[in-house]
Amino acid sequence: MKTFFDLKQEVRATGRCHGCGGCVTFCTAINYGALHMVDDVPRFKSVEKCIDCGLCYRICPVVGDLDEHIKKQTGWSAPIGRILETTVAQAKDASLRARATDGGVVTGILLHLFDTGRIDGAIVIKNTAEGRKPILATTREDIIESAGFSFNTAKGITQLGETYSTYSPVAQALGSLIRQGLKRIAFVGTPCQIKSIRKMQALKIVPSDAIKFYFGRFCNANYDFSGGKARELEEFANCKMDDIRKINIKDDLLLHHKDGTIRKIALRDLDFAKRSACAFCDDFTAEYSDISFGGLGASEGWTTVITRTPLGRAVFADARDAALDFLSIDENLKLDSTVLQKLQESSARKRAAAEERQAIRK
């Protein structure tokens, strides 16, 4: 059985660790101090307290364990996962669209689920005084405030462990969930996060059973602008971040200035800030989610949406009239094939780049 020692050698030492925190958050011996996160990197806190259960290794999104299981679980099919419908939409609420990165569809659906009593909360990324942080949003206000772009969305998974108890005997964990009354949670995350939690779901690890809806964001890469890299971006783009109103990613990184101008930066020019692990990731469209969202293929103020599972299709259909607007049928028909082609092309490029990098490391 492979353990955290193997995870260190195969994933962390090779630069493939996403820093999602799943291995630490759900460590069987976490309460004994076996593992901890240091600067977004999982490490032994006390190697003697590790019980060599192998759980951390199995749920890591980088290794291949359980891949075939979650493909079957989600009905995955080549080339970019199961697709029931591809469309372009936006939130009806203009105030949501004003806050959103693209069309505010994710926030619109979350609010609809919350208002209709289908979820008790959602794990999202929110602006705080300390910067963008993962939170469990249990109010409309928290959900609304989470709308918008974050350069680094790779930390959301740790909120599972902070909000619930960590991996523990089922009775104890269920008791904690019952006391909090939080049994129906929507998770919004990146492809690597979705994959990791799907693995936890396959292993029936509490509290993954509380995650009822998986909403995945298109992800070319996560970017880290700490340690002076934000200044490097300012110099490259010839602007000040204080002058930027909004940032989003479509075919390029788009810097929306407060004066209304938009500066485009090719994603290849951001390699200096790309997290090293992202070079090995082959999933662009969050292929294991219930619904995937992103800006690619959609015009300004709109969101491209892929419904993947029957549950995702039902959620999306329920929100259509209440919370979302769509292009006309004729416009959507014209867009459908074009959008799907763009998604497949971007996915193919990311997959090919990941396979090339993996081959080099071997």
Q: What is the pLDDT of residue 289?
A: 97
What angle in degrees, to the nearest 10, is found between the helix axes of 310-323 and 105-115? 90
- Residue whose entry in the numeric block shows the structure tokens 């020019």: 269
Whether residue 89 contacts residue 105, with contact meaning beta carbons closer than 8 Å, is answered with yes
Residues 277, 192: Cα–Cα separation, whole Å:
10
Is it the case that residue 222 has pLDDT exceeding 70?
yes
Residues 6+ apart with CB under 8 A from 75: 82, 308, 309
User: For a pLDDT cut of 70, what percent of the chain falls above it?
Assistant: 85
Q: What is the pLDDT of residue 221?
A: 84
What angle in degrees, to the nearest 10, is found between the helix axes of 67-74 and 191-202? 90
Is it the case that residue 244 has pLDDT exceeding 90?
no
Q: What is the pLDDT of residue 171?
A: 27
The sheet with strand 253-257 has its strands ordered as 244-249, 253-257, 262-265
- The gap between the terminal CA atoms of the chain, to the nearest Å, is 22
Residues 343, 90: Cα–Cα separation, whole Å:
18
**Structural class in CATH, domain 225-273:** alpha beta
Q: Give the total residue count for the chain.
A: 362
pTM of structure = 0.85
- Asked if the domains at 83-220+286-361 and 225-273 fall in one CATH topology, the answer is no
User: What's 274's DSSP letter?
Assistant: B
CATH of domain 83-220+286-361: 3.40.640
- Residue whose entry in the numeric block shows the structure tokens 């964001």: 217
Secondary structure string (H, E, C) spanning 277-313? HHHHCCCCCCCCCCEEEECCCCCCCCEEEEECCHHHH
Lowest-confidence range among 67-71, 106-110, 323-327?
A: 323-327
User: What's 223's DSSP letter?
Assistant: B
- Report which of 285, 282, 283, 237 is spatially closest to residue 261, judged by C-alpha positions: 237
Residue type, 261: T
- Residue whose entry in the numeric block shows the structure tokens 């090719």: 266
- Report which of 244, 215, 231, 199 is spatially closest to residue 69, judged by C-alpha positions: 199
Residues 132, 247: Cα–Cα separation, whole Å:
14
Q: pLDDT averaged over the chain?
A: 83
In the chain, where are the structural domains located?
83-220+286-361, 225-273
Question: To the nearest 10°, the Cα dihedral for 88, 342, 220, 361?
Answer: 150
User: For a pLDDT cut of 90, what percent of the chain falls above it?
Assistant: 38
Q: What is the pLDDT of residue 345?
A: 93
- Averaged pLDDT for residues 217-235: 81
Query: pLDDT tens digits, residue range 145-172?
Result: 888 765 544 555 554 554 433 222 222 3
Query: pLDDT tens digits, residue range 21-70?
Result: 788 877 887 778 898 888 778 899 999 999 999 999 998 988 988 999 99
Tokens of 53: 């259960």
The phi-psi region of residue 297 (left if phi > 0; otherwise alpha if psi is between -120 and 50; otherwise beta) is left
